[in-house]
Amino acid sequence: MNRRKFFDRLVKSGAAALAGSGPALAAPRPLCPPLPAALPTTGAPNSHWIIPSDKPDRFKLKVMEFNPIPAPDLARWELEVGGMVEKPLRLKLADLQALPQIAQSSRLKCVQCWSARIAWQGFRAKELLKIIRPKPGATWMRVDCADHYYDYHSLEALLYPHTLFALGMYSHPLTPEHGAPLRLVIPFEYGYKSSKLITKITMLNHGGKGVVADTWPYYTESGRIQPGYDHPFDIPNVTKKIKGGEITDY
């Protein structure tokens, strides 16, 4: 079954499509054993490799892409804001670019046991919250994406010091494969919680299961990184034992 047929069947069955750094067709075990062999050098059938220009030979970043969609028209793109906010509104990309921008290096950890340290650029959630002005009791945010992916995030997770709404990486705007023009980066949660291609946010007084946790039991609603093992692509042929939470040791 190819990716588009798989997506069509999910939609017809009432489930949303898959995208971002999410799961493969077969749900993997949540904790991975060390790999005895070297890491692969080519992408699997449902993935491909993006090589940043400033690290052409040493760094390969895997992109899980189940439902490729046309590149967004950045001139027309808007972020729709609704739910429990003082005034629903639509924000242009320029509005988000005008927020205080920061750069951070943080590791994106996939539940499939690979990871990569990435130089991100973007803004903190608190800067966005100042604009959208959530009402009292609005303690959760639902994000919807251009490819029908969706997830829920608590304000606690959004206000975590290293959570970032990313607009770029390696000093360049995000590519469509990496979630252009807006994605989340939550370093203490698995990559499937770092929703890409965000087009809408809704403030709520309750959380819920995102498309991944609602589809496979191996993917938790919280997405918190668990103790186990990691195979970082930027440190070839090395297996790292991790204690859970954000990976800061390497």
Cα distance between residue 74 and residue 175, in whole Å: 11
Distances (CA, A) of 198 to 6, 35, 57, 165, 245: 22, 34, 31, 10, 24
- The answer as to whether 249 is a domain residue is no
Both tokens of 136, joined, read 């009292």
From 234, 241, 223, 189, select the one nearest 35 (Cα to Cα).
241
Mean pLDDT by 10 residues, the chain (250 residues): 40 34 36 41 31 44 65 94 96 97 96 94 97 96 96 97 97 92 97 96 96 85 95 93 96
- The answer as to whether 151 is a domain residue is yes
* CATH code, 23: 3.90.420.10
- The answer as to whether 48 is a domain residue is yes
- The answer as to whether 250 is a domain residue is no
Largest Cα–Cα distance in the chain?
A: 55
Cα distance between residue 157 and residue 230, in whole Å: 22
Q: What is the pLDDT of residue 198?
A: 97
Q: What is the pLDDT of residue 25?
A: 30
- The answer as to whether 39 is a domain residue is yes
- The answer as to whether 121 is a domain residue is yes
For 11, the domain range is 3-242
Q: How many domains does the chain have?
A: 1
